[in-house]
Homo-oligomer: A and B are copies of this chain.
Amino acid sequence: MVDDKRRRLLDAALKVFAERGFHGTTVPEVAAAAGVATGTLYHYFEHKQQLVNEVYRDAKLRLRGTLLDGLPDPDLDKPGAAQAWFAELWRRLVTYARAEPYAFRFLEMQDHVEYLDAESRQIELATLTPMFSVAKRVHDRAGGPPTEVLLALVWGAFVGLVKASRLGYLRIDDAGLVEAGDIAWRLFEREATKAIKKPPKRG
């Protein structure tokens, strides 16, 4: 019951923050969206800033869960394993963006830095690191641009797709989103292909 109200507040806050941004959102607005009185919000969160941080962590941890829970590390010696791993991740991203559009939008906002605390930033890193280390292994076999660059391109591509969809620049269904993953894979492809086909040439 207590947790119920806290949950409702987090969900309502996520939604309005995603729509209007942190500064564009009023505390009573959040409370109203959660169906509680303003004072009640302050029973659960010390101040607006603590609220955003908890909303952020909450959303980010769910993202992390969706992306990483039960995701096996690819056996990179098997042909196609890297691509399968990539496809699975992309599919999970699609799942998250579809299931939690507000969370996805909120997490991609630009002005977080200003109010996020150390704990929140720590979670950000904890989400990226596992993907990064696999990508790095895939990638190191090949050469080419730094892994960070590839990941930034891929992540950005996905975000761009979702954003364009939200703004109405394109209409896309889940199948379309998954298909787009095949295209995004090309960013990795040549490197990964080299990695598998040409290790002998390197030794």
Copies in the complex: 4
A122 at the interface (CB under 8 A from B): no
Chain B residues within an 8 Å CB radius of A158: 156
5 A-B pairs closest in CB distance = A156-B160, A23-B23, A148-B170, A152-B164, A23-B24
Binds B, one of A6-14, A57-65, A181-189: A181-189
Question: How many residues belonging to A are interface residues under a CB distance threshold of 8 Å?
Answer: 46
A1 at the interface (CB under 8 A from B): no
- Interface pair A163/B170, CB less than 8 Å apart: no
12 residue pairs from A and B, CB less than 8 Å apart: A20-B114, A21-B21, A21-B110, A109-B110, A113-B167, A145-B180, A148-B164, A152-B163, A152-B169, A156-B156, A186-B186, A187-B187
A111 at the interface (CB under 8 A from B): yes
